[in-house]
Amino acid sequence: MGIAAIIVGLSVLLSRFMGLIRDKAISYWFGASLESDLYFAAFVIPDFINYLLAGAYFSITLIPILGQLFQRNEDEGWNFFSTALLWIFFAISLLTLCGEVFTEEIVPYIAPGISLEALEKLTSFVRIILPAQVFFLTGSCFSAILYLRRQFIVPSLSPIIYNGGIILVGLALKGRGIEGFCWGVLVGSFIGNFLLPLLAVQYGGGMALKFRLWHSEMKRFITTALPLMVGQSIVVLDEQLVRIFGSLAGTGAVSHINYARRLMMVPVGIVGQAAAVASYPFMSELFSSRRMEEFFNTIKSAIKHSMFLIIFISCAIAAASEPIVGLIFQQGRFEPSDTLETAKLLRIYLIAAPLWAFQQILGRGFYATGDTLSPVIVGSVVTFVMLPIFWLGAINLGSVGVVGASVIGFLIYSVAMSLWWIKRLDGKQAFKGLFRSISFYVLGGVFSVFSTDLLHWKLLSKLFTYNEHSLESYLWFGLMSGTLFFIVWLGFASLLFRKDMVEITKRLIKKKNL
């Protein structure tokens, strides 16, 4: 599981890096403008259709059923897979067609803060991006086969190629403005998310697709996936909520929030997503064989190690937030004022990074038991409660209020999921001693960020003369802030959680050597 997590983590790191290059290209050419706001808002409808069919969870819902069928009889496994693939293709094609037809009527509701003229351009962008969902969802089915075969590399390459397609096509068509990046979404999704997994399944173990309209296991598949389709929780809708309500916070707000969120998701992907994806097949196997002690200990270990790493990385990014944003985005039409605004939002958003990782791993624990309903019910209730908070935040506090509402939503969701986990599975064992360790990690990180800020602004800024918003000053003070943070954190960690630090470091070195 550790080796799988490292493979997924490295691929996610590359994917996030490609995503940052993509956003860098967009920020360079379009800054934080109405044009970039429209581009990011154009994903609301396509993403919602994807969530409506539980596209992000197809691997989760397919793996347990496919695993049982392939163990029993390979022909039955391919019979079921062929049936599921056919109906998924039909459903997403129908929804995409409906989206294309009714885009003009829907777009005013996804960007309530923009003008009528801008809505016309947004409608055009949405219609270009919508068909990509066909490639995403059908490709997810082939990725499920690869995960089942423990072939993590190819599914991990998909988002890298997807982002690469957006960048290359967007730059090739930059004469058409940001519309070129919309066409890049279509090309990247076809090659990276559909064609690559399809070829990997075919040449990495064989494939036996058949034309079948029904299979007896489809009932179980629909029953498992239906809660994920009906319930749209705070986890899957957060990105869309900040885009929708961000449009009420003024021109550029959606872009500032998006750039900050992209940076926040880097540690989430590298640590949280990697741990969740890699641990899920093992959780499913342990629960299926009723090895409950190992099941709970696996979840506990995944959460503890993930929290240690993600809190450290998130706090390190927070300590050097302005230099990081400046170095990555501040060029072209992205001004110093955009850097300051994005860095401020990034610091707030980073509070949610450990919460993201926590709920991803715990959510996989629920799915491993076959319970796809509980996370969705809890998440849907939290989403409903958060809607007025998002609106009030956008109206009264602008982009800060929108990001703050997102953090509050994930905090409530994480607490509610933990309480329901204990009640539903009597799973206190998975949390034994966990929150004490996490509290120390948080305390060490926050204290280190505060100390770095104090030393930075009270000492370094007075000792050195520099051009405050130049790339050279961002590089210098980024290095100084990072160094100060690490020194303070290392001292604090040695006092409070030295044992955990040594243990996790040894494990990482061991897995790397393997």
- Which two structure tokens, joined as six digits, stand for 229? 């389709």
pLDDT bracket for residue 115 (50, 70, 90):
confident
pLDDT: is 195 or 63 the higher one? 195
Which whole number is the average pLDDT over 308-315? 93
Lowest mean pLDDT among 26-40, 364-378, 460-474: 460-474
Question: What single DSSP character describes residue 249?
Answer: G
Tell me which residue of 11, 278, 27 sits closest to 159, measured CA to CA: 11
463 falls in which pLDDT band (50, 70, 90)?
Answer: low
Residue 513 has pLDDT above 60, yes or no: no
As a whole-number percent, the residues of the chain with pLDDT over 90 amount to 40
What is the rounded CA–CA span in Å between residue 89 and residue 93?
A: 6
- Mean pLDDT of the 123-148 span: 92
- Average model confidence (pLDDT) for the chain? 86
Query: Is the CB of residue 334 less than 8 Å from the CB of residue 27?
Result: yes
CA 174 to chain centre: 27
Distance between CA atoms of 426 and 420, rounded to whole angstroms? 9
Half-sphere exposure of 94 (CA within 13 A, CB side): 8
pLDDT for residue 514: 45
Residue 156 pLDDT: 81
Q: What is the mean pLDDT of residues 250-261?
A: 92
Question: Which 3-state string (H, E, C) describes 334-397?
Answer: CCHHHHHHHHHHHHHHHHHHHHHHHHHHHHHHHHHCCCCHHHHHHHHHHHHHHHHHHHHHHHHH
pLDDT at 6: 65
Q: Which residue has the tokens 């993590």?
A: 152
Residue 507: what pLDDT? 66
The radius of gyration computed from the CA coordinates of the chain, to the nearest angstrom, equals 23
For CA atoms 283, 284, 289, 290, give the dihedral sign.
Answer: positive
How do residues 377-416 score in pLDDT, each as one tens digit? 888 889 889 999 999 999 999 999 999 999 999 999 999 9
* Total-model pTM: 0.82
pLDDT for 3-15, tens place per residue? 666 666 677 677 7
| Banded model confidence at residue 464, pLDDT cuts 50, 70, 90 | low
Inform me whether the pLDDT recorded for 57 exceeds 80: no
Q: Which two tokens stand for residue 160?
A: 């890298």
- pLDDT at position 89 over 60: yes
